[in-house]
Amino acid sequence: MITIDDNYRLEDFGLRAVMDYTDPSTIGFSEVVQKIPGRPGVRFIKEEIDVRQLSVPFKLTNRNHVDINEKLDRLADLLYDEDGHRKEVKIKLDHWQGKYVMGYVASPIISDRRLFLSNLTLDFVCYDPNKYAEIEAEEILWGSEIIDFTSSYLLGHEGSTGQIQVTSNQTLDIFLDGLSIYPVIEITGTANNLKLTTNGQSVELPNFSNTTWQIERFNAWRNGQEVFVDAHKFKLSKGANKVTVTGSNMNFNLNIRVRDRYK
């Protein structure tokens, strides 16, 4: 029912999930408001999205004290690092249809003798509450061994342009299935006056030669050195997106990496 870091099922640790648990379809939120003297009600300022919390009860599949403790020790090794601190792990529930979250264990693993008279509950907290697609948008292809009939992608999904070689002005088609995202832009090569535009917003780069760029909203690196690039509004929306590429003296590889994000 739950897979950790792609390779570990909780059944491997002597645990079987109980089905009566809560998995909310949307994430909680808190509101920031301000009272205006002399006016009824309050003024809405903004909302803050809460963390995602998972709490799943389990039953023990083995009553042997030594065996259970050995398996729970292995589970602890998976969830904690060598210094004893919690590790961020990849978490997938079977019914999430090809999506995952990143999270930390949020409660201690109790393995004393009282455990054998009750159920065990594992709590996780995801500070980034969003679910993410198992594959990037350019991998959504007919014949994929990752996507199957249980995936959320529907027939008619337009897919997205993958990594391309750019030598002239052109337009890329990128299809987004989930929430809006800020993509990761990877560029390697040469260009003058390069400009990428989508949904009315642009990213412009100074002239460069035999250079590697990686850009993601507020973060950018040129040949591994952090630099400033104004990409904070370069956002893709749900559905079909057109990304135009213009410039001169262009000879570079371009990859606009997109991983669908869901509530």
Q: What ranges do the domains of the chain cover?
A: 2-129, 137-262
Q: Say what the pLDDT of residue 157 is.
A: 46
- C-beta of residue 174 within 8 angstroms of C-beta of residue 180: no
Q: Say what the pLDDT of residue 227 is.
A: 95
Q: Per CATH, the architecture of 2-129 is what?
A: Beta Barrel (2.40)
Which residues partner with 87 through β-bridges? none
Give the number of other Cβ atoms within 10 Å of residue 135's Cβ. 17
- C-beta of residue 263 within 8 angstroms of C-beta of residue 131: yes
Q: Say what the pLDDT of residue 144 is.
A: 46
Instruction: Give the amino acid at 102.
Output: M
Q: Say what the pLDDT of residue 43 is.
A: 85
CA distances 256 to 141, 149, 201, 224, Å, are 17, 27, 15, 18
pTM for this predicted structure: 0.77
Q: Say what the pLDDT of residue 147 is.
A: 46
Low-confidence residues in the chain, pLDDT < 70: 19-22, 110-118, 137-162
Q: Which of 164, 161, 154 is nearest to 136 (CA)?
A: 161
**In terms of DSSP H, where are the helices of the chain?**
65-79
Q: Say what the pLDDT of residue 160 is.
A: 66
Among the four given CATH numbers 1.10.1760, 2.40.30, 3.30.420, 2.60.120, the one describing domain 137-262: 2.60.120
Q: Say what the pLDDT of residue 143 is.
A: 46
Q: Which of 47, 56, 150, 147 is nearest to 103 (CA)?
A: 56
